[in-house]
Structure 1
């Protein structure tokens, strides 16, 4: 097929006017060199670039389809780059635009055109300098006075002294940042008649565009953002000051805390109880200097999503925010001021961070602080719609949901009341999907729910296809997450290449509540009944075929996730009270559910980065952090607002909490360890062992002070079986397909005896959540994730942000390799060091990114953590070029290594999902193959991008 020819054009002017229009535009202003401001016009970039090509290639280029297409694409790239700098509008200087044009030409390999463009700019700069010099000799003034428009419309001269003061404060103590560069760049973006708000925006933008050259500019930009935050909050609080520097806040913060609480109560954002604290004592404990530790992304995220606001005005400052959360968590304490200060110090130091719902709602009129809710849906119409109603009520106040749908009868099952046939579970899942969209999380983030279905359910194949982009839209749920709830017996049938039988739950109702060997025995009985004809509605499929379809769907759509029923139940500490029927939205919570109990979990995460000093884990500090944090999490349970009674009943009866970790990758950097290394796996083991030990001990000590949780008797705890001990239970139930490390280094015998003597305050104490947003707030790597890229632009609900790996920059500086060439190479290679020959191999290994790491390392590290955790972990798996064989081996490895759940499959690539059923996977489907899964990963074809890494609406990306 011939490409369409370009229009015949013979002159430069006709060529530029005939260019196809650029689709991307910016809603911003362009500041010209003379200080004048004009609207942004993308076509001018297109024309300028076209002229550059004509100057180099001559008039013959005017009829070239290649040149037309190249100019259009490069112009769009320039505009996209500018859009990342000014996502919400604002101003951009003409020089910045020309810098981006130059960079785009270089990246595209158009070196001759780029050179011509550089020379042209240099010549124009020389002519302007000559003109300015002549003007100065004649006594003419070259500078214009800039007037700033106030909120009331008054004009006043720009206060350059204050601007310099703010910049000086922002760069103070930060290595590699220049106050003069920031001032020059800021002044270049100002114009006469600019508003006060735009001055603040220009200051921030002028700073944050330099983050990719020096990571410390991120902190400088955050400190400049603080100036805007202070002005907004102080003006609303109506005190003596409407603006203040960071230094002045040392004296003002105590008064600001008092006024914020008083006004928050007055405008009905905060509970009256907060006003009855000794606010003078709490104000004196505030540490204003902790405002200086934020990155720009962290502070902007707090501002956009967490701070209290009234009529669109944020009136909460960072240290007031942390104190307000601490006050909420200490509200039922006897010595509540002292406890509030203790909690504040933990939060504001970033040593530990509570989960997003806790940060949203602590101290408010409806303190819904819990993160996750798990429900089970009954098999009757009233119960199904009651469950959907519960979803809506729980989602309203920022709860993430996990629904077990395995009891709902399958398609074709008999309906006794109407003598008809059921339409199965899928139509009800569609209603649940639409409910999650309709009732978002308090208007603050998208409603989120995950549906779980057991592998023996007769609708399982339709369930697997819920997220497909083709087929009947009435049987698709594009907004709801889905997960397979897989019994061990199915995995054994896959290994043996045996058949698998699908049942409707109304014919096999007790399978839902059976696990391990009891499930296997009963399942075989149902198969015998089906063979005799006693069960009419069933279907047999090769287990391998169904497994391949599972992998094919997760390969193509990212869903359903792979989670394992039996490890979650056999190791469940409170199994005497019920069965775990599903996990939660992010697959880290494993708690039982029934018709009268909705499981609830309250989350928070220890920042491992803050507990590594001099290349070692600071165990003493970790102990202090975990002890205080466990008290904070336990306090959530009594203080929490419950929107449905089943949740309150369950939470007060069992009191589960989920202590997690974040900053694991950053901790490895500080220890000079590569993620893909045996040493990193050992650190995962030892750090989680310490967290587990201290969390269990803290809960046991609280049981002495506050009493055991009501359902303690009969639990594994009461029998002296700790999470590390429950590994033996799973090994006994499963048999040969269980290969895990049992190493331990701490005095577990002493702790075991302590728990048996004192009991436990909480039925469960650990779970590793994604921490996507709170890790941004703290400026550390997400959860247990490897680095996505060393240099990239992150999208979330607060906008787009340049993210650069500060540890990499530090190491490259030490080697004398951090320069413009390295910066441009990182941009060109998407933050990867691997193509750069001049970089040492050790550094390449240390800074290998998520898709450059063999995914087996992620599973191995997760397995070491899982042995210590009484719940689960949100484990994303990264695979650059997946195929059927590699996915088959990876997920079997996860099962063999004792993992309870997995989360998203993150992939890159562009080819069809049918490759997941490649014949190459047959060897790994055998019994021998599954035993070799721990040592086999093959190279295969590319896959589609099943899960976006930077989806601003994705729970895991937030």
Structure 2
């Protein structure tokens, strides 16, 4: 009797699916490749033996576990004992992951990484009134992709074209090649805002100030994403107020009003509210502004940055005096030494990270809409410079999945960039906006902020240490390619759908280039969406080889770098002792068990010089339309002079802003290296609001 033919297998959930020999080949090859034991040819040979053994059994429909048992036996019979052990560990890890998935209560047909599932459940999956998920990742990505693709019905695309686009959008998200901002994941298909970035005007009148405060509350409650303001038009404290005969309380007093509002109104129940405050260096209240967050107890919902012109920075270099100007009258109020102002700024930034700096002239040299006036403020993280009432939606390409055979897959990067550009342009139309003037600006400018994440992961796969000239060269090449491709994609969309309405106010009219979007690229911090993508954040280096990330809940999520694990297994130093040391310190440096080449490859944020951090930001800025959110991480041992060097170098190299953080200078931080104890020692910053659903609230009359 001839052996039977295998046509189906039984999965663990009891479902019957078609038999696929390629899955056996991949399982064997993955175990072997982790040890560099043999290649795909041998994996195919062994898979044939596995199949023949299965055919000779009396089981008509083999189960997954039975197939895996035969694979183990086959590997051992062939003398591949280490590979068999690796396969057994692989099975054990898979079983642990299945149990973790089961505990999350999410149907995960896409087999996403467990940390991706945690982030999706905590932040993005739709929930019922009791806080339980009512959709799974597949349904989420289908909801987003179909609603975004349907926008093109307005532009006359055929049903087939729309379906094809929807399938393309779904594939980008499901395979973690591109993830849009969190507002897309939460709201697309249900209605609501899809934008992440806002800037509101603050004029020198009580009516304007409180109108902006009201609009800010509406944006915060409905849209999230935070709001940026430049307070430089408000008259200084102590200035005369003719209408009342009294004296002005100055801009900082109104920052406190917004701060109180932020603390009351959560971002749609998803995040705490946050704002960016900018005050130009020539404002008479600049010293009070610089000191406003001293001690870290006040204005806790604000990031603060000093708006600096080239005139101010050159005065700092020369150590010359600098005039403070009353914005109400235009008259000089006082003169201070510019270097003295700079010294105070940098010493306070050294102490707790604030204030940062925004370089006004560097920014306005590339302002795409000069007809709308100068750019004066950014969103809360600094990557989006916006005019008053302007807005931008964000999304990021995951570079970590674009390394093929040790090289960057530029063909695939081009395809993703083009498709993501259409996705985000459609988002401008689909989004609802909380304030009418924002609607006008959003659709008038059609800004999109396409960025990247997973850059550090890409470098590791390419074998390029982050703190090397080759990494800087790679940064420029990759971002130029993305920026140029997005430019061309926007030009094609303009042919198809028309230019943005404020085109005549833009630089593109003089260039005689039709453009769909006033700006196209921007690099965001990608906090939660990098977790969804299971990628390193933005353009940042890895924070640590093992670390806890506190953007999901108070305990945080513990990570061990997946590329390090793979490399440790391949190079024979994957053991409990090495992992214990790495988990304890978060670093590979000075670990005698680990080859020096690998130590250099896995260099962490605090092991990179602050100046090199700035150089990397500047390399990306050369080919980014808007700006970049990047933290210049500094070790606890960094000095105030180090901070001065970073701020000055950032301006000289053409960065549009700079933010530093000296390790341990705040009681709270988003990332902490090492395993810690159980997470109680760390806290969240600008993370998810911990609200108890009404149906689960507990009541007690006990004190």
Interval containing the TM-score (normalised by the shorter chain)? 0.7 to 0.9
1:540 pairs, out of 335, 340, 364, with 335
Q: 1:807 to 1:557 in 2, by over 3 A?
A: same
Residue aligning to 1:808: 564
Question: Is this contact kept in 1: 2:232–2:280, CA < 8 A?
Answer: yes
In the other structure, the counterpart of 1:786 is: 541
Bigger RCO (CA 8 Å, 6+ sep)? 2
How far is the alpha carbon of 1:308 from its aligned partner? 1.4
**Aligned partners of 1:445 and 1:944: how far apart in 2?**
20
Shift of residue 816, structure 1, vs aligned partner: 1.2
1:344, 1:544 → 2: CA distance? 53
Separation in structure 1 between the aligned mates of residue 507 and residue 369 of structure 2, nearest angstrom: 7
TM-superposed deviation, 1:173? 4.3
Within 5 Å, give how 1:171-320 maps onto structure 2. 173=27, 221-227=96-102, 288=109, 291-292=110-111, 294-312=112-130, 313-320=132-139
Contact 1:215–1:805, Cα closer than 8 Å, also in 2: no
| C-alpha deviation, 1:478, in angstroms | 2.2
Counterpart Cα distance in 1 of 2:534 and 2:91: 12
**1:714–1:665 CA distance, 2 compared to 1 (3 A):** same
C-alpha distance in 1 between matches for 2:645 and 2:300: 28
1:578 aligned residue: 373
Residue of structure 1 equivalent to 2:326: 504
Matches within 5 A, 1:148-547: 173=27, 221-227=96-102, 288=109, 291-292=110-111, 294-312=112-130, 313-334=132-153, 335=159, 336-364=162-190, 366-396=191-221, 397-469=223-295, 476-508=298-330, 530=332, 538-547=333-342
Instruction: Give the secondary-structure state (helix, strand or coil) at the position aligned to 2:334.
Output: strand
Q: 1:818 to 1:563 in 2, by over 3 A?
A: same
1:557/1:947 contact within 8 Å kept = no
Cα separation, 2, equivalents of 1:806 and 1:848: 15
Deviation string for 1:748-774 (max 9, x for gaps)? xxxxxxxx35x0000010110000100
Larger radius of gyration: 1
1:612-639 Cα deviation digits (max 9, x unpaired): 2122211111111011101111111111
Q: Per-residue CA shift, 1:44-99, capped at 9, x if unaligned? A: xxxxxxxxxxxxxxxxxxxxxxxxxxxxxxxxxxxxxxxxxxxxxxxxxxxxxxxx
1:692 aligns with 483
Cα displacement (A) at 1:679: 0.6
Compared CA separation, residues 544 and 359, structure 1 to 2 (3 A): same
Greater Cα offset, 793-802 or 577-586: 793-802
Q: Could you tell me which residue of structure 1 aligns to residue 353 of structure 2?
A: 558
Aligned twin of 1:749: none
Q: CA deviation at 1:164?
A: 11
In structure 1, the residue matched to 2:71 is: none
Counterpart-to-counterpart distance in 1, 2:671 and 2:456: 17
Query: 3-state DSSP class of the match of 1:546?
Result: helix
Question: What is the Cα deviation at residue 228 of structure 1?
Answer: 5.1
Question: Displacement, 1:328?
Answer: 2.0
Q: Is the 8 A contact 2:179 2:396 kept in 1?
A: yes
Deviation at 1:218, TM superposition (A): 7.6
Cα displacement string for residues 12-68 of structure 1 (whole angstroms, at most 9, x for unaligned residues): xxxxxxxxxxxxxxxxxxxxxxxxxxxxxxxxxxxxxxxxxxxxxxxxxxxxxxxxx
Question: Is the contact made by 2:525 and 2:629 (CA closer than 8 Å) also made in structure 1?
Answer: yes
- The answer to whether the 8 Å contact 1:826/1:833 transfers is yes
Alpha-carbon deviation of 1:650?
Answer: 0.5
**TM-score normalized by structure 1?**
0.60
Could you say what secondary structure the match of 2:684 adopts? coil
Residues 337-379 of structure 1 show CA distances to partners (whole Å, capped at 9, x for unaligned) of 3322221111111111100111111011x32100100112011
Secondary structure, counterpart of 2:335 in structure 1: strand
* 1:215–1:875 Cα change, 3 Å: farther
Q: Distance in 1 between matches of 2:576 and 2:101?
A: 30
Residue 946 of structure 1 deviates from its aligned partner by 8.2
Residue in structure 2 matched with residue 949 of structure 1 by the alignment = 671
- Checking the alignment, whether the CA contact within 8 Å between 1:221 and 1:296 is kept in structure 2 is no
The root-mean-square deviation of aligned C-alpha atoms, in Å, is 2.8
1:493 offset after TM fit, Å?
A: 0.2
Counterpart Cα distance in 2 of 1:407 and 1:956: 31
Contact 2:668/2:685, CA 8 A, preserved across alignment? no
Distance 1:890 1:217 in 2: 47
Give the number of aligned pairs: 597
Shift in Å, 1:944: 6.7
**Structure 2 SS opposite 1:868:** coil
1:412 is paired with a residue whose SS is coil
Gaps of 5+ in 2: 1-10, 16-22, 33-87, 154-158, 673-681, 690-703
Cα 1:886–1:612 shift into 2, 3 Å: same
Aligned residue for 1:592?
A: 387
What's the counterpart of residue 473 of structure 2?
A: 682
Q: Is the 8 A contact 1:176 1:216 kept in 2?
A: no
- Contact (CA 8 Å) 1:607, 1:663: kept in 2 or not? yes
Q: Secondary structure at the match of 2:322?
A: strand
Match among 841, 846, 861 for residue 596 of structure 2: 841
Contact 1:408 1:425 in 2 (8 A): yes
Quick check: 1:613 aligned with 2:404? yes
